[in-house]
Amino acid sequence: MSVIECKKLSKNYDEVEALRNIDLEVKEGEFFGLLGPNGAGKTTLLKILTCQLKSSNGKAEVFSLDTFTNFETIKPKIAIVPEQESPPSFLTPREVLELVVNIRQINGKDIDYWLNFFELDKMEGRVCRNLSRGQKQKVMLASAFISNTKLMFLDEPFINLDPLVQSKVREWLKEYVEKGGTVFINTHLLENAERLCDRAAIIHQGKIQSLITLKDLRKQNLTLERLFHEIVV
Amino acid sequence: MNKLILFRMLQEEIRLNTSFASGKGFYSFPVLVLISGLLATLFSDVMIEDMGYVDYLQILHVSAIFYGLFAGSLAFFGNEFLERIFGYFGLIIGLSTTHPITQRKITFLYFCKEIIFYSFFTMLPALIGALIGTYFTNINITSLSIFSMTLYVSFCTGISFAYYISSFYRKSISHAIIYSTVFITIYAILFRGEEITGTLDWYLNKEMKQLALGTIVPIFLSLIATLNITEHNNVSSISIIGYKNRFKEYSEKYTWAEKFGIPGILAKERIDLERSKTGTKMFFSFLFPLGFLTFMNWFLDKGLPIQIDFNTIFYGVMIGFFGTMLYSWLNSIDTPHFYSTLPVQVSDVIRARLLLFGTITWWIPLIFMALISYMSNELDLLPIGIIVMITVGIYIVNYTAMSTGLKTNSALFDAFVFIKFFFISVPPMIAMTILSLAINHRPSTILVALSLICGILSLLSLFFYRKIDTKWTNESFD
């Protein structure tokens, strides 16, 4: 069953064509990567899929529902880590997770687990405004992971994280997908994409240039990096 | 290099403003100012007849100083505001952190940019409007041009004073307070017994010494400010550690408000308000316009042949109107971007902020109302004043929330939004002001009329409140 579907999707900002005729399908239980250089249109696509932006043309569906008109049904079922780490400035990490739990009306028993997981328990009593960028990113990830949704949208989730935390996050995401969750990840860190994704699309200048199954790529003794260079450069 | 940086800063300012408002809205603003300049000239005869020639010119100079101060405050204290609204916001002024240019130099260039921008964006259109106005009046075009130059110096004084305060604010808030008091005291001593500004004194009395003195003031202020700027100053207004977890406590407290807003959002916004110490800022932001009103009251009393006393009901109207400021403060505490990761709409956050306005910040206007009525010996008018204040406050804040959403300050930069705001807010205020001034003549009739207006405003408030959902559904938090 497909959880994400785009057909002939386009987005224009005045005269700039940010997305051009995107056709895409992501199945339930898939780890899907959207790869591309800076400014390729990755974040724009993610914003459309997460009900934050209206497309100019074409179809964008999540759980078979149009993303712009079904905000109330789609939003509780998805978790998002946006490109910019922007947790509430004046809340402590624990309070941020309590806010997420309160708004999503889910059980808050995992709050301590996630604070420990990201070593945010040491930050008790500090508001997010005073955290480093990496720590803020951890708060954003914890907020998404605690949401307990079946579909997760991650926009450059590994930026600012140290290698140890990156590896912990990778492991958790793999487990999440194994248990039936679906991940849609935007990244230009090809190494992470190669380790995690089942399938990936390379987007360049607003257009999907290639759809890749990682297994097939490995069979052909190709790397994502080589393919990426061939397409983008 | 300096020229290039200055040019890029001007480009940046224009792009920043057009990103706040629509391009058309932004470029229409000078037209609005031009029309204001034209009207000021056309009605100058009436004003002079009412207030007297010298008093009218003085009031224009005071306004120019305050306008400069306002523009300068936006520029020099706006960075913190921009960061809170938009998250990280990189401006050219931040170049000194990564490039070999001193903070002193880049801040001075930024100050020059501000003067150039406001000169071309507002002062010049106002002058053109006024010059066009001379065609329809008997005002001499040369004397109007000379007077405009003196006004321009007053504007520069205001903007330089903001620059001066900000340079001390970089060190600490107490430095800013002490050195602004020092400057105000010196200014008061220098111009004691003279006109309010040196250039006005020169214009009226042809005293060259006063012209020199008046012109030196902004130069002196900007020089001190520039020399005062050093590297690595950091003002931290909030503590780093030691915050107790309050979220659960507050979200439980707000379960009663579930009908109006999501308790989680209300708790988050309430904590933001407390920890950012915005309540104190809100309180002090009331002092400035109220002080200005009191000054105008005193000034009009001095200038007009008949005595006009602004009573408690009048202040109720004004303080209610300043509710817009409170709502705008609520919108500038923190960036709302995090909400985009949650299943909430922009309208949910707007409603939460409206509820906070009504339940948490109410004490600020109430304190001012009580103080004003006590000081004017009008405690008997206080209940009516409070009703008027609440009605006007709810009306204007609901309209502001409906029309500007979570970006009140930036949305009002759009001339079209501003004009609508003007036409929605000014007519009821004028009607209520006239009624309040006539309360002693026919109290019962005036009370009936006031009640009628309050009723209409309440109905309109409800209408604006209901429109929030339709207007802000599906809007993004960006």
The 10s digit of each residue's pLDDT in B351-363 is 999 999 888 877 7
Q: Which amino acid is at B376?
A: S
What is the H or E stretch that residue A151 is in?
strand A151-155
Is B235 inside a domain boundary? no
Do residue B81 and residue B131 come from a single domain? yes
Do residue B327 and residue B448 come from a single domain? yes
Do residue B398 and residue B277 come from a single domain? yes
Nearest chain B residue (CA) to A141: B341
Pick from B281, B153, B302: nearest CA to B213: B153
**Closest Cβ opposite residue A86 in set B245, B251, B335:** B335
**Closest Cβ opposite residue A100 in set B88, B267, B342:** B342
Is B238 inside a domain boundary? no
Task: Determine contact: B256 vs chain A, CB below 8 A.
Answer: no
**Closest Cβ opposite residue B341 in set A54, A94, A144:** A144
Per-residue pLDDT of chain B (478 residues; tens, 9 = 90+): 688 999 998 998 888 877 766 677 778 888 888 998 898 888 888 878 777 888 888 888 988 998 898 888 777 766 555 555 454 556 787 777 777 788 889 889 999 999 999 999 999 999 999 999 999 888 899 999 999 999 999 999 999 999 999 888 888 878 888 998 899 889 888 888 788 888 999 999 888 888 999 999 999 999 999 999 887 655 555 567 788 899 999 999 999 988 888 999 999 999 999 998 888 777 777 776 676 666 655 555 555 554 556 788 888 888 888 888 888 888 888 889 999 999 999 999 999 999 998 888 777 888 888 888 887 788 888 899 999 999 999 999 999 999 999 988 777 777 788 888 888 988 888 888 888 877 777 888 888 999 999 999 999 999 999 999 889 887 888 7
List Cα–Cα distances, A45 to A2, A34, A35, A77, in angstroms.
17, 9, 12, 18
- pLDDT at residue B396 in the model: 94
Looking at the DSSP bridge assignments, the partners of residue A212 are A200
Pick from A179, A109, A106: nearest CA to A147: A106
**Closest Cβ opposite residue B268 in set A80, A88, A104:** A88
Q: Are the Cβ atoms of B247 and A140 closer than 8 angstroms?
A: no
Q: Cβ neighbours of residue B17 under 8 Å, at least 6 residues apart?
A: B26, B413
Q: Are the Cβ atoms of B240 and A130 closer than 8 angstroms?
A: yes
> How many domains would you assign to chain B?
2
Scored b (16 or more CB within 10 A) or e, B171-205 reads beeebbeebbeebeeebeeebeebbbbbbbbbbbe
Q: For tokens 């008790």, name the residue.
A: A124
Structure tokens at B74: 């936006």
A210-219, long-range: CB within 8 Å, 24+ apart, which pairs? Answer: A211/A24
**Closest Cβ opposite residue A91 in set B247, B337, B342:** B247
Probe site for chain A from B266, B342, B477 (most A CB atoms < 10 A): B342
- pLDDT at residue B238 in the model: 56
Is B185 inside a domain boundary? yes
Task: Determine contact: B19 vs chain A, CB below 8 A.
Answer: no
CB pairs under 8 A between A and B: 105
CA B167 to chain CA centroid, nearest Å = 21
Q: Are the Cβ atoms of B474 and A54 closer than 8 angstroms?
A: yes
Given a cut of 60, is residue A180 above it in pLDDT?
yes
Chain A interface with B: residues with Cβ < 8 Å = 47, 50, 52-54, 68-69, 71-72, 75-76, 79-82, 84, 86-92, 94-96, 98-100, 102-104, 124-127, 129-130, 140, 143-144
Nearest chain B residue (CA) to A94: B245
Looking at the DSSP bridge assignments, the partners of residue B322 are none
Task: Tell me if A125 sits within 8 A of B367, measured CB to CB.
Answer: no
Neighbouring CB atoms inside 10 A of B242's CB total: 9
User: How far does B251 lie from chain A, in Å, by closest CA?
Assistant: 8
Write down the number of H helices and E strands in chain B.
22, 0
B474: left (phi over 0), alpha (psi -120 to 50) or beta: left
**Closest Cβ opposite residue B264 in set A76, A92, A102:** A102
List Cα–Cα distances, B461 to B261, B434, B457, in angstroms.
17, 22, 6
User: How far does B337 lie from chain A, in Å, by closest CA?
Assistant: 7
C-alpha A45/C-alpha A47 separation (Å) is 5
Q: What is the DSSP letter of A67?
A: T
Do residue B317 and residue B388 come from a single domain? yes
Structure tokens at B455: 């009723």
A-contacting residues in B 322-381 (Cβ below 8 Å): 333-335, 337-338, 340-345
C-alpha A28/C-alpha A51 separation (Å) is 19
C-alpha B58/C-alpha B199 separation (Å) is 11
Probe site for chain A from B266, B341, B477 (most A CB atoms < 10 A): B341
- Model confidence over A25-81: pLDDT tens digits? 999 999 999 998 888 899 999 999 999 888 999 999 999 999 988 988 999 999 999
Torsion, Cα of B410, B414, B419, B421 (10° steps) = -30
Q: For tokens 């405003």, name the residue.
A: B457
Looking at the DSSP bridge assignments, the partners of residue A19 are A11
Q: What is the pTM of this model?
A: 0.79
Q: Using 50, 70 and 90 to split pLDDT, how confident is the model at A218?
A: confident
Is B239 inside a domain boundary? no
**Closest Cβ opposite residue A99 in set B247, B333, B478:** B247
**Closest Cβ opposite residue A82 in set B240, B272, B341:** B341
User: How far does B466 lie from chain A, in Å, by closest CA?
Assistant: 19
Rg, Å, chain B Cα set: 24
Structure tokens at B263: 């308790």
Do residue B279 and residue B175 come from a single domain? no
Mean pLDDT of A197-219: 90
List Cα–Cα distances, B283 to A155, B70, B75, B314, B362, in angstroms.
40, 17, 21, 20, 11
Probe site for chain B from A99, A140, A149 (most B CB atoms < 10 A): A99
- pLDDT at residue A9 in the model: 93
| DSSP result, B329-390 | HHTTSS--GGGGGTT--HHHHHHHHHHHHHHTTTHHHHHHHHHHHHHTT-GGGHHHHHHHHH
Is B237 inside a domain boundary? no
- pLDDT at residue B283 in the model: 77
- What's the mean per-residue pLDDT of chain A? 91
Looking at the DSSP bridge assignments, the partners of residue A151 are A78, A182
Do residue B364 and residue B443 come from a single domain? yes
- pLDDT at residue B236 in the model: 54
Is B62 inside a domain boundary? yes
Q: Are the Cβ atoms of A82 and B337 closer than 8 angstroms?
A: yes
Q: Are strands A16-27 and A2-13 parallel, antiparallel or unpaired?
A: antiparallel
Domain that holds residue B440: 251-472
User: How far does B470 lie from chain A, in Å, by closest CA?
Assistant: 13
Task: Tell me if A30 sits within 8 A of A199, measured CB to CB.
Answer: yes
Do residue B100 and residue B218 come from a single domain? yes
C-alpha B413/C-alpha B91 separation (Å) is 19
Nearest chain B residue (CA) to A155: B341
- pLDDT at residue B308 in the model: 55
Structure tokens at B119: 């000169």
Nearest chain A residue (CA) to B255: A102
Q: Are strands A151-155 and A78-81 parallel, antiparallel or unpaired?
A: parallel
C-alpha A115/C-alpha A145 separation (Å) is 11
Task: Determine contact: B231 vs chain A, CB below 8 A.
Answer: no
C-alpha A202/C-alpha A196 separation (Å) is 15
Query: What's the CATH superfamily of A2-86+149-232?
Result: P-loop containing nucleotide triphosphate hydrolases (3.40.50.300)
Q: Is the dihedral of CA B142, B196, B218, B64 positive or negative?
A: negative
Q: What percent of chain B has pLDDT over 90?
A: 32
Angle (CA) A168 A170 A171, round 5° = 65
Task: Determine contact: B236 vs chain A, CB below 8 A.
Answer: no
Do residue B176 and residue B280 come from a single domain? no
Q: What percent of chain A has pLDDT over 70?
A: 100
Burial (Cβ within 10 Å: 0-12, 13-18, ≥19) of residue B411 = buried
Do residue B341 and residue B436 come from a single domain? yes
Do residue B183 and residue B285 come from a single domain? no
Q: What residue spans define the domains of chain A?
A: 2-86+149-232
Given a cut of 90, is residue A191 above it in pLDDT?
no
Q: Are the Cβ atoms of B476 and A98 closer than 8 angstroms?
A: no
Do residue B163 and residue B310 come from a single domain? no
Task: Tell me if A71 sits within 8 A of B345, measured CB to CB.
Answer: yes
User: How far does A80 lie from chain B, in Å, by closest CA?
Assistant: 5
Q: Which amino acid is at B123?
A: M
Do residue B171 and residue B218 come from a single domain? yes
Q: How many CA atoms lie within 13 A of B303 on its CB side?
A: 19
